[in-house]
Every structure is written in structure tokens, then in C-alpha cells.
Amino acid sequence: MNFLEEVILKEGQALSDQVLKVDSFLNHQIDPQVMQKVGQEFARLYRSEGITKVLTIESSGIAPSVMAGLELGVPVVFARKRKSLTQNGDLLTAKVYSFTKEEENEISVSKKWLKAGEKVLVIDDFLAHGEAALGLANLVEEAGAEVAGFGIVIEKSFQSGREKLLKKGYRVESLARVASLSNGSITFTRNGQE
Ligand code: 5GP
């Protein structure tokens, strides 16, 4: 079991067979030491890829992304879920459907912070149905930049996100892969097996 799986087993709560609550270290309170290790692991996995930027989505993707950006020595930009008052002019936008909220949102990032030619590591806290990840990839491609791959803190392997991203040819690195949340117990995939 890796360090993150241990933290998830100790701190995580299966709210249902679909939803994992991890608000003691990732989604509400943040554990900087766990985030630092997460950032180091993403950096180790992508160090040879010539990453020039980390892209994530507010708000829970920011902490692991900042740690990865620090390790890789590159800036971090986060897509917004709502337009900010100071965000004007040229925006890259993508539609993202949320299965948990049952609504579609438009995410955006300023063209100033995502440019053609960049090599982008896309990081998010969870991978479920892959909608957020694909929306972020759309922003990168709209900018004329390249997706080097995805860094996911917690993947729910029983949902379709990973498959969708692999089918599009993307590299997906998930630090913890949850096989099941059934009956209130959290289990992980073993050595890449489903
Ligand atoms: P997707 O777009 O892959 O369906 O869902 C990814 C987004 O939904 C993540 O950015 C995360 O915010 C949220 N999410 C999906 N499943 C879970 C879950 O089981 N627990 C938590 N805390 N967030 C989730």
C-alpha cells in the first residue's frame, strides 16, 4: 500500500458506493505534508517530459498542483468555475458536466496564462467520469498547447474517467486508484489491475 492509500484508509469516508469524502487532508482542511509528497510523486513521474506549466481547476486541485509546480519549477494556473470580476478580455472556455451536481458549468482560463507551445501537466484532486479532466484538456488544446498527461490524486477506477482519457491517447498517472466504495469500505486496485 502506498502512502496516499494509507492516508485515505485512515481518513477517508465512503459516503455512498460512489462518493469518497476526504476533507481532512484534500477537500476542506489541507495536509501540507501529504500534499508535498503528492507533488513530489507527480514531479518524479513527469520530470523527463519537459513540462512548462501545471493546469488545474479551482479549488481542490490547487494544493496538489502548487506542490507539483514547486517541485518541477514551473508556474501553476487554475481554471475558474465562475468568471471573476477582474477576468476580462480573451478567455479560453470549455463546458464541464458535473455528475454530482447534475449541472453544466463553463470553466475558463485567461489566454494570457496558457499559450501555444506549452507542455502542460493537468492535475486534479479526483478522477470520476472524466468531465473535468476533458474540459481542462480542451482548454489546453484550444490554446494550441500540448497535454503531457494527467496527474490525479484519487481515481475512482470503477467510474469511466480513466478509460475515456486513455481512449483519447492521454497518459494518466493516478496516485491512488479506488476499486470500490461498496458497503462503506474502501478498496484499491492492485498493480494496475481493475
Ligand atoms: P469528473 O469530472 O471526473 O466526473 O469528476 C471530477 C470532479 O468531481 C473532481 O474535480 C472532484 O471535485 C469531484 N468529485 C468526483 N467524485 C468525487 C468524490 O468521490 N469525492 C469528492 N470529494 N469529489 C469528487
Give the residue, by CA position, lying nearest to ligand 1 atom 9: 126
pLDDT per position in the chain (194 positions), as tens? 899 999 999 999 999 999 999 999 999 999 999 999 999 999 999 999 999 999 999 999 999 999 999 999 999 999 999 877 676 779 999 999 988 889 999 999 999 999 999 999 999 999 999 999 999 999 999 999 999 999 999 999 999 999 999 999 999 999 999 999 999 999 999 865 55
Q: Answer whether 0.90 is exceeded by the pTM.
A: yes
Do the Cβ atoms of 189 and 157 come closer than 8 Å? yes
What's the ipTM?
0.98
b/e per residue 161-192 (b: at least 16 CB within 10 A): bbebbeeeebebbbbbbbbebeeeebebbeee
Are β-strands 103-110 and 76-79 bridged in parallel, bridged antiparallel, or unpaired?
Answer: unpaired
Check pocket membership of 140 for ligand 1, CB cut-off 6 A. Answer: no
Q: Is 133 annotated as a binding residue?
A: no
Are β-strands 91-98 and 103-110 bridged in parallel, bridged antiparallel, or unpaired?
Answer: antiparallel
Give the residue, by CA position, lying nearest to ligand 1 atom 14: 126
CA angle (55 as vertex; 37, 39 as ends), nearest 5: 5
Q: Is 112 annotated as a binding residue?
A: no
